[in-house]
Amino acid sequence: MSEHNTSPSEHHDGPEGTAWIWKVFWILLAVTTVEVVLGIIKPEILLNPFLGTTLLNVIFIVLTIAKAYYIVAEFMHLGHERKNFIWTITLPIVILIPYLTFILLSEGGYMNVLMNQ
Amino acid sequence: MANGAALEQNTSALWGGGRQPFGASYGKMMMWFFLLSDALTFSGFLTAMGLYRFKYEETWPVAEDVFTHFPLLHGEHPLLFVALMTFILILSSVTMVLAVNAGHKNNHNGVVLWMGLTIIGGFMFLGSQAWEWSHFISGDKGAIQLKDNTVVYLTKVGSEGEILSVYELVTGEEKPHGDHTEFSTGDVVSAFGLNTDVTLRYPGKAETTMPRAEAVKAFESAKVIQGANLRENEYGNVLFADFFFFVTGFHGTHVFSGVVLNIIVFINVLMGTYKQRGHYEMVEKVGLYWHFVDLVWVFVFTFFYLV
């Protein structure tokens, strides 16, 4: 009993060396730079309505999720864990957060409509 | 049936104790489950902000008009300072991975170096956040709160909505950098009466400017607000300030506790606790927490400052 509480996790071979760490760093930095530049110049062409918001906002959200993927899969090493563990952690997130977001944002829009009547 | 029995035997061998069905130790697994629940907490806060942002779409401030300062630089630099904060946090995440990586190789000095740098990065981020908060609290140009709690800006007639600071209206001079003079409502009302070319404009996406006559009428029973707190916010809807303090504050608390945990583990590393234990998994566990703090910031950055 005490043994499995103190023994370390089995080792999952990730890539060797530290080059992969810096690679992920440059990816995160590049994505952040793109976000900041787009946020400052706000290109007119990206401000057209798209999926209930603007194309620019959709780009921001997609880039954010890409960053989140790299942090979780590489820095937190989840991508190299066992499959059952990966799904145990990601499924609740993938199901619950979009659900909550959908409910609250659509209700917020409805409250706005009611308020302005 | 024979198959079922074999499966049962395997299952009890796997889950009966003494093994790691997920290939992760108890402590690491529990850290992940804690982070899972914490992620749901943060998403609750951010989506709640989304709800009110959609509800008060017209008066919700545009973040680029709110956070425009950068230390030692004059003028308006939207997004630059939060970009720097993001960079600091990503960099401290990288040093944390390097510490975990050194731990896997039982490289004691490597762990000491990279964990030390991670702690420094944590303090730098906390300092930046304190700077950001103090600027938000003391405010910038000042605004007028109308009787129905709507916040409006001063602007010159025909200046395409450029915000006139309360300082400039009262003194007639441009507001010096870092000035925090507080003006009474009486001063501002009389200055507004004298400057007949000044009117009011709504903040947020609408940016409607009132005709002067309407502005004079609205100015009766108006109140000057400078800066932001939980009850008033010169940048627009007060809920924006409430969510700013709450969400970035809750994230800052996480950063702070992350730094504290990092320091505790750092001291243990220095004392050779993990060297003696033969593995540095504790560094990996606090590393998970530290990366999570970075992960949350990525979302706060997007949904507070960009979108």
Judging contacts by C-beta atoms under 8 Å, the chain A residues touching residue B33 are 89
Average pLDDT score over residue span B205-233: 80
Residue B85's closest chain A neighbor by CA? A32
Interchain pair B24, A81: CB under 8 A: yes
Interchain pair A1, B87: CB under 8 A: no
CB within 8 Å of chain A, chain B residues 17-36:
17-29, 32-33, 36
At A36-78, the pLDDT tens digits run 999 988 888 888 887 778 899 999 999 999 999 999 999 999 9
* Range from B36-50, B199-213, B214-228 carrying the lowest mean pLDDT: B199-213
Using the predicted structure, report yes or no on whether residue A12 has a pLDDT greater than 80: no
At B48-98, the pLDDT tens digits run 999 999 999 888 888 877 888 888 877 778 888 999 999 999 999 999 999
Please report, for chain A, how many H helices and E strands are present, in that order: 4, 2
Judging contacts by C-beta atoms under 8 Å, the chain B residues touching residue A100 are 43-44, 47
Closest approach of chain A CAs to the CA of B190, in angstroms?
33
Point out the residue among B26, B51, B306 whose CB comes nearest to the CB of A104: B51
Judging contacts by C-beta atoms under 8 Å, the chain A residues touching residue B50 are 101, 104-105, 108
At B139-170, the pLDDT tens digits run 888 888 888 888 888 888 777 777 888 888 88
Interchain pair B307, A61: CB under 8 A: yes
Judging contacts by C-beta atoms under 8 Å, the chain B residues touching residue A4 are 17-20, 25-26
Interchain pair A9, B281: CB under 8 A: yes
Closest approach of chain B CAs to the CA of A45, in angstroms?
16
The residues with which B252 forms a beta bridge, in sequence order, are none
Two structure tokens written together for B273: 């606790």
Using the predicted structure, report yes or no on whether residue B6 has a pLDDT greater than 70: no
Task: Find, among B263, B260, B262, B226, the residue nearest to B241 by Cα.
Answer: B226
Candidates B41, B302, B305: best to mutate against A (most CBs of A within 10 A) is B302
Interchain pair B96, A29: CB under 8 A: no
Q: What is the four-CA torsion angle of A16, A19, A21, A27, rounded to 10 degrees?
A: -140
Kindly report the backbone phi and psi dihedral angles of residue B224, in degrees, each rounded to the nearest multiple of 5, phi listed first: -85, 135
**Can you say whether residue B142 is alpha, beta or left, with left for phi > 0 and alpha for psi between -120 and 50 degrees?**
left
Interchain pair B305, A39: CB under 8 A: yes
Q: Can you give the pLDDT at residue B1? A: 45
Residue A41's closest chain B neighbor by CA? B78
Interchain pair B86, A18: CB under 8 A: no
Give the residue, B26 or B295, on which the prediction is more confident. Answer: B295
Taking the model in full, what pTM does it have?
A: 0.88
Judging contacts by C-beta atoms under 8 Å, the chain A residues touching residue B302 are 35, 60-61, 64
Q: What is the four-CA torsion angle of A53, A56, A57, A63, rounded to 10 degrees?
A: 140
Point out the residue among B29, B47, B281 whose CB comes nearest to the CB of A101: B47
Domain ranges of chain B: 49-139+245-306, 143-226
Average pLDDT score over residue span B259-273: 96
CB within 8 Å of chain A, chain B residues 150-169:
none
Task: pLDDT band for B35, please (50, 70, 90 cuts).
Answer: very high
Report the share of chain A in percent with pLDDT over 90.
63
Selected from 1.10.1200.10, 2.40.50.1040, 1.20.120.1200, 1.20.120.80, the CATH number assigned to the domain covering B49-139+245-306 reads 1.20.120.80
How far apart (Å, rounded) are the C-alpha atoms in residues B25 and A85?
12
Point out the residue among A12, A32, A105 whose CB comes nearest to the CB of B83: A32
Give residues with Cβ within 8 angstroms of A4, minimum separation 6: B17, B18, B19, B20, B25, B26
Structure ipTM: 0.90
